[in-house]
Structure 1
Amino acid sequence: MSDTPAKSYGRKSIRLSVKPSDLMAEPALRPGIWTARVITLFPNAFPGVLEESLTGRALNEGKWNLELTDLRSFGVGKHRNVDDTPAGGGAGMVLRPDVVGAAVEDATRNARGNCPLVYLSPRGRRFDQAMARSWSEADGVTLLCGRFEGVDQRVLDHYGFTEVSLGDFVLTGGEIAAQAMIDATVRLLPSVLGNADSIEDESHSHGLLEHPQYTRPAEWMDRPIPEVLMSGHHGKIEEWRQKMAEQITRERRPDMWDAYQKNKGE
């Protein structure tokens, strides 16, 4: 275990450390609150965008917790080395299993209940709305941010990490992906967004992309709002929105459209 405290965020939080802390200055984490635990070489990258808007307000109000574990503090030797050359040769460096393993043990020692272990990796299953909803129904999630050529496979196998990718592209590290995934998940927590209907109507919630949205003024740059939306006829409005959602999904995401058609037939 490291002597370096892991950073925690939220209205009710405590910095995790082997050293005694001033509990009056650092109140304990609230039990039962959904918690995102992030293991990273760059803890100063957080909260980042998660500190803004509804997600940030919910964090400050103690509706979810963010705990950060600095991977560097578990490094080996004088220079806190966290990586080494790939076994068998090759370019780049690989995060060491002894370093990552110690960080995982430290980050998860207070985890309770269902808290998936996730390694952010371009070779993982692609993150989607269904996964975000699943995580939001858990007690939290632990995200390991990869760097360099990745993590020694043994540590992933030992702890049973699930590999998850933000998309079919490669980032320099997992921090940006972690923030995107946390944001997508936190907004699904009860009381965070504040309007359950808006979640139900948005893209991906029913297997379709969202229909177009309009607001005042009624005409802009010679482009009027579709007449049906101004009719006040709720049945026709819903019919139009469904038709547009289907059309957009069919044109832009044929993979989603095929899955939608299949689910409709079952």
Structure 2
Amino acid sequence: MEKSPPVIELIQFCISNRLYNINERVFAGERIYLLGANGSGKSTLLSGISGFLVSTGQLNVNGQAIVSYSTQALSQQRAYFPQLVLNQPILKVFQYLALFHLSNDPKSSLFDDLCRDFQLETLLLKPINQLSGGEWQRVRVIAAFLQVWDGQDLSGKFILFDEPTNNLDIIQQSMLDKWVKYFCDCQGTVIMSGHNLSHAYKYADKVWMLKKGEIIFSGKPEQVMNECNLSEIFAGKIRLSPNEENRFWQVINFDE
């Protein structure tokens, strides 16, 4: 039986000249992965769901229109991790994270665990403008979790991740997977964009496949991630390996 109300409900959701007629529902504990070519609308959709872009149609969060939330109330329900942050704050790492975390609140152990797993313990006193790209990415990932993680039952909370694995090495990518799973096991919800098809197939509860601002395929990975659908959204021939236990996709040589 479906959980009610959905954490996120999109009805005829549009953003002028960029997104068209999105109709989807997302429930507590789900992991949704967005797939599509560059420019297909993945970042626009995530930004639109966050409430940062003007939209038409309906966008409901936990059963009420997103426009009815105050900025503070909405920030307690959702965290938005944009793909690019052009201006870094003039703060040290611990000062930046303090904006999302209070040392005397129940998140204290969560903060320590996140810093340990993402290897930030030695970087807390470092100015953000002196961080590498991967270090800054890890700081932003931790901030997203801290913003909305306030207990063991995270029903109604959600994080919007736009290509969070950029600049992360293989160990840090596995840590992100670990914490996304933990967040969703606590009934939090994650919507994430990326380009790793095998990763989406393995971890997603549902996949939204976008092309030219529309979701043209939506469903469980095993239902929609086939050669025909993937070739259509990426406008190129994509072949699925025959290994059922370890699926991966490859682009067919353009000269063929």
Structure 2 length normalisation: TM-score?
0.27
More strand by share: 2
Structure 1 length normalisation: TM-score?
0.27
Please say which structure displays the higher CA radius of gyration: 1
Structure ranking higher on relative contact order (CA contacts 8 Å, 6+ apart): 2
